Amino acid sequence: MRFLASLLLTVAAVQAHYTFPKLVVNGKAEEKDWSVTRMTKNANSKQGVENPTSADIRCYTTQDAGSVTEVPAGATVHYISTQQINHPGPTQYYLAKVPSGSSAAKWDGSGAVWFKISTTMPFMDKNKQMTWPGQNDYITTNATIPASVPSGEYLLRVEQIALHLAMKSNGAQFYLACSQIRITGGGNGTPGPLVSLPGAYKSSDPGILVDLGKIKVEEYKPPGPAVWSG
C-alpha cells in the first residue's frame, strides 16, 4: 500500500509536466513523434528547464531530428502535448533562419538569430486566477508563420513557461521544443529584433521571476523581444 501510494505520487508529479513531440501544420500533424521535432532531453522525465540562461533553453536537445518539413508562409502551427498543459504561463514561438551552407537538419541555432513570432497574454478567470489562453489544453496555442517571412530553412521553437513556482529564482519551468522546417512561398520581410538563446532571458526578468498572486494581469510582461508579425 505504501508502495502504491508513492507510485501514485510519482505518476501525479510526472503528469504535471509535458513535452511537445509533434508539430501540426495547417491541421496536419507530424507522422511520428520526434521526426521533424528534435527529441528533447526530457522526453522521458518531462522535467522543464529551470535556468533560463543555460544552453538547454535553446532547444533542450542532444540530437537532431530525421527530417525537415515544409511549412507555407502564413500557415497556422501548434504542437501536440504529451500531457495537459496545466500550468499558467505564456506560450511563445520563435524562428531562426538557417545560415547559407548549413541545413535545418544539422544547424545548432547559435548566435543572435532568433525572432519571436507569437506570444500569449493572461486574463483573470472566474475564480480570479491568472490564466493564459489554451491553459489546460492538450495542444499548444496556435501561432501564424508570418506571410512576409523569407522562404528557406528555419528552426521553429515553441515554449510554454510554467509560472506556478516562479516566485523564486529559477522556479519558472520552460517546456520547449525545436522543429526543422522549410518555409515556402515567403516574402521580403526583415524579421527582428534578433536575439540569442541563451542570451535573451535572465533569471530576474519580470516575466520569469514573478509571483502571479501579486500582480495584475495587465502588468505581466512575457520575456524576450517584441513579436515580429511581418
Q: Binding residues for Cu ion, per CB under 5 A?
A: 16-17
Kindly tell me which of 16 and 147 has the beta carbon lying closer to Cu ion.
16
- Return the closest-CA partner of residue 206 out of 166, 156, 158, 178: 166
Residue with cell 508529479: 13
In the bound state with Cu ion, the residue whose beta carbon lies nearer, of 60 and 154, is 60
Residue 75 contacts residue 145 (beta carbons within 8 Å): yes
- Closest to 166 in 3D by CA, of 178, 157, 174, 175: 174
Q: What is the closest distance, in whole angstroms, from the C-beta atom of residue 64 to Cu ion in the complex? A: 27
Q: Could you tell me the smallest distance in angstroms from the CB atom of residue 16 to Cu ion?
A: 3
Contact indicator for 143, 116 with CB cutoff of 8 Å: no
H runs (alpha helix) in the chain = 2-15
16/194 with CB nearer Cu ion:
16
List phi, psi (to 5°) of 7: -65, -45
> How far is Cα 131 from Cα 129, in angstroms, rounded to an integer?
6
CB of 192 to Cu ion, least distance (A): 33
Comparing CB distances to Cu ion, the nearer of 16 and 227 is 16
Residue nearest to Cu ion (CB): 16
The CB-of-89 to Cu ion minimum distance in angstroms stands at 11
